């Protein structure tokens, strides 16, 4: 039995509780939050509640800590948990700067604990099907790709909690809303070499951008476009990932990227393509992504292997976000190797 503790009992904690409950071999033993009202939601039925992470780490019987607090707190809490010998699942983004991510990875490695970052959309049936086609080489040479997040987060959303929309704790539309889509983009297309970008705060009264557009050049030579916004009226419109190659075109989209919209490949007949689209459409959500992550961490500990989504994966997409932010701030093209090795920390 692998025992889990959760720090941060806000909205996202519910998904972790449900995932742990649904996972064979996993058991929730402790939760932590400074707000006693939020804490009381989960500190019952044998789950002990704490208002201090240090106390939970010292007293509770816990193997894994799930960090579900605002983004700007992830570094310190990860380091604290790792130094206590706990494995860690940290919500996205793993940190707000590459320097912080590097420190988290270093401490976890030195302490011999596993670090996994929450990017659950990789487990969506449509994305698993898309990844399978990429690995098979069904696209041939890629020409370009588009990652699009056209969502609504109104002013009430940002006013719900003081950390939302702040530079120190939220990080902006790429960091907080679009980062899952960007993780998928990198998973499919590989590393980015260079970016340029524009950002703006057009409609929301927040410190960070509410819309950003970026142009990418991948190391493969393929090009890419990122469009991310929380300014859509009156509700979420689209999240999509589109890949274009010499022998394949695929678009996964919908209000959330769960449905195959286009599926055309040189090695598939129209009937074969339609069959795959229909199979995914029968169960577009699949098993909850958080449950897949808890199952993976539980198995990784038991088998002594690395989790499927590691700290390195979280750092990779964070580097892309930091590069886009720096490009928009400076008006210059930013090479990711300069960002990660040249002392620029976002």
Which pairing describes strands 238-245 and 248-253: parallel, antiparallel, or unpaired? antiparallel
Closest CA to 68 of 99, 94, 102: 94
Mean pLDDT of 279-294: 97
Q: Where are the domains of the chain?
A: 2-119+290-307, 121-287+320-326
Mean per-residue pLDDT for 217-242? Answer: 98
pLDDT at 44: 85
DSSP letter, residue 220: T
User: Model confidence at 223, in pLDDT bands (50, 70, 90)?
Assistant: very high
Confidence of residue 339 (pLDDT cuts 50, 70, 90): confident
Classify strands 115-117 and 142-150 as parallel, antiparallel or unpaired: unpaired
Confirm if 30 and 54 have CB atoms less than 8 A apart.
no
Which CATH superfamily, name and number, covers 2-119+290-307?
NAD(P)-binding Rossmann-like Domain (3.40.50.720)
Lay out the sheet containing 223-229: strands in order across: 259-265, 248-253, 238-245, 142-150, 223-229, 211-218, 192-200, 334-335
In this predicted structure, which of 115-119, 193-197, 199-203, 338-342 has the lowest mean pLDDT?
A: 338-342
* pTM, full prediction: 0.96
| pLDDT for residue 340 is more than 70 | no
Comparing 39-48, 95-104, 146-155, 183-192, the range with the smallest average pLDDT is 39-48
| Res 24 pLDDT > 70 | yes
Evaluate whether 2-119+290-307 and 121-287+320-326 have a shared fold: no
Give the pLDDT confidence score for residue 63 in this predicted structure. 98
DSSP 20-71: HHHSTTEEEEEEE-S-HHHHTTTS-TT-EEES-HHHHHHHS--SEEEE-S-G
Q: What is the mean pLDDT of residues 85-92?
A: 98
CATH number attached to the domain at 121-287+320-326: 3.30.360.10
pLDDT recorded at residue 345 = 39
In the chain, DSSP assigns E strands to: 2-7, 26-32, 48-50, 64-67, 87-90, 115-117, 142-150, 192-200, 211-218, 223-229, 238-245, 248-253, 259-265, 334-335
Whether pLDDT at 19 is above 90: yes
pLDDT in tens, 61-75: 999 999 999 999 999
> Is the model's pLDDT at 301 over the cut of 70?
yes
Tokens matching residue 222: 């393929």
- Residue 173 φ then ψ, to 5°: -65, -40
Instruction: Report the pLDDT value the prediction gives residue 338, as an integer from 0 to 100.
Output: 85
Higher pLDDT, 342 or 193: 193
């Amino acid at each position: 039995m692998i025992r889990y503790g959760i720090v941060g009992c806000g909205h996202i904690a519910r998904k972790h509780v449900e995932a742990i409950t649904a996972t064979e071999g996993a058991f929730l033993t402790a939760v932590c939050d400074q707000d006693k009202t939020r804490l009381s939601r989960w500190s019952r039925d044998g789950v002990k509640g704490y208002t201090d992470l240090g106390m939970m780490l010292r007293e509770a019987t816990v193997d894994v800590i799930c960090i579900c607090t605002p983004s700007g707190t992830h570094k310190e809490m990860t380091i604290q948990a790792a130094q206590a010998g706990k494995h860690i699942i940290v919500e996205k983004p793993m940190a707000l700067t590459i320097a912080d991510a590097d420190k988290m990875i270093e401490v976890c490695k030195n302490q011999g604990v596993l670090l996994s970052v929450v990017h659950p959309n990789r487990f969506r049936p449509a994305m698993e099907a898309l990844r399978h086609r990429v690995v098979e080489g069904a696209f041939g040479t890629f020409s370009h790709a588009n990652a699009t997040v056209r969502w609504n987060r109104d002013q009430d959303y940002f006013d719900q909690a003081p950390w939302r929309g702040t530079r120190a704790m939220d990080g902006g539309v790429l960091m907080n809303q679009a980062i899952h889509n960007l993780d998928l983009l990198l998973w499919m297309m590989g590393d980015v070499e260079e970016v340029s970008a524009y950002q703006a705060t057009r409609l929301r009264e927040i410190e960070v951008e509410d819309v950003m557009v970026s142009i990418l050049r991948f190391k493969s030579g393929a090009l890419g476009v990122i469009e991310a916004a929380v300014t859509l009226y009156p509700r979420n419109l689209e999240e999509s990932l589109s890949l274009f190659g010499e022998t394949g075109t695929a678009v996964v989209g919908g209000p959330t990227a769960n449905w195959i919209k286009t599926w055309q490949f040189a090695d598939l007949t129209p009937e074969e393509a339609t069959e795959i689209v229909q199979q995914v459409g029968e169960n577009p959500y699949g098993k909850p992504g958080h449950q897949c992550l808890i199952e993976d961490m539980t198995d990784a500990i038991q088998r002594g292997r690395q989790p499927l989504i590691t700290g390195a994966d979280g750092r990779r997409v964070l580097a892309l976000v930091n590069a886009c932010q720096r490009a928009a701030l400076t008006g210059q093209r930013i090479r990711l190797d300069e960002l990660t090795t040249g002392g620029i920390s976002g």
